[in-house]
Amino acid sequence: MKKNALIIFGSPNQHGFTAKLTRQFTSAAASFCVFTYLDAYKEKIKPCSACGICDDEITCKYKDFKKIKGPIENSDLIILASPIYNMSLPSPLKAIIDRMQPYFAAKFRREKFLLEPKKVVLILTCGSSDERAPLMIRAQVNAAFNSLSGKIIGQITWTNTDTVKKMTESTKRNLADVVALIGDI
């Protein structure tokens, strides 16, 4: 059976580096994944206001939570595809990550967690070769996806996009390795 893979897309550019890498990933994994998309810049999800309403149940005061809840709960695999902005995630994508707070409350405040653990793949692009940037994203994503018992199982990275405009052989191999890994689970 094919895996339900949710792509949370964080680039404002539909034809940029992140989009290109994500397209190559989805075409390579199409035989064993069905993809659903949550595009952070298109959906404009509101930031968490820390109102505390989700302390008691998996809900949110903002109606747009339904755009996150269904896709997340129905996914086997979550692919977070994003450029790196100032050692972090672009703010529309960060807003989606922060809106996972209802799952944090369920797991850690009420100790009630009903979802299957999620497998997470990162697709990251960045202008520089600063190795700290992807590590910082991993730390953020690990913290946020801990609420979903998520585990990062693979990472595809295209660094140096300011100067390296064509995908390198090492990024292509990295992509093929992660696709093979997903095919095996």
Given the rule CB under 6 A, which residues bind ligand FMN?
11, 13, 16-19, 83-87, 125-128, 130, 133, 161
Q: In terms of CB distance, is 74 or 128 closer to ligand FMN?
A: 128
Count of all residues that appear for the chain in the document = 185
**Cβ 11 to ligand FMN, closest distance in Å?**
3
Q: In terms of CB distance, is 11 or 26 closer to ligand FMN?
A: 11
Q: Which residues pair with 7 in a beta bridge?
A: 37, 79
Residue 155 to residue 29: CA distance in whole angstroms: 14
Q: From residue 133, give the alpha-carbon distance in Å to each of 8, 156, 164.
A: 19, 13, 17
**Cβ 41 to ligand FMN, closest distance in Å?**
10
Residue nearest ligand FMN (C-beta atom): 16
**Cβ 24 to ligand FMN, closest distance in Å?**
13
Q: In terms of CB distance, is 125 or 174 closer to ligand FMN?
A: 125
Q: In terms of CB distance, is 47 or 52 closer to ligand FMN?
A: 47
- Phi/psi at 68 (nearest 5 deg)? -100, -45
**Cβ 2 to ligand FMN, closest distance in Å?**
27
Q: In terms of CB distance, is 63 or 132 closer to ligand FMN?
A: 132
**Cβ 58 to ligand FMN, closest distance in Å?**
31
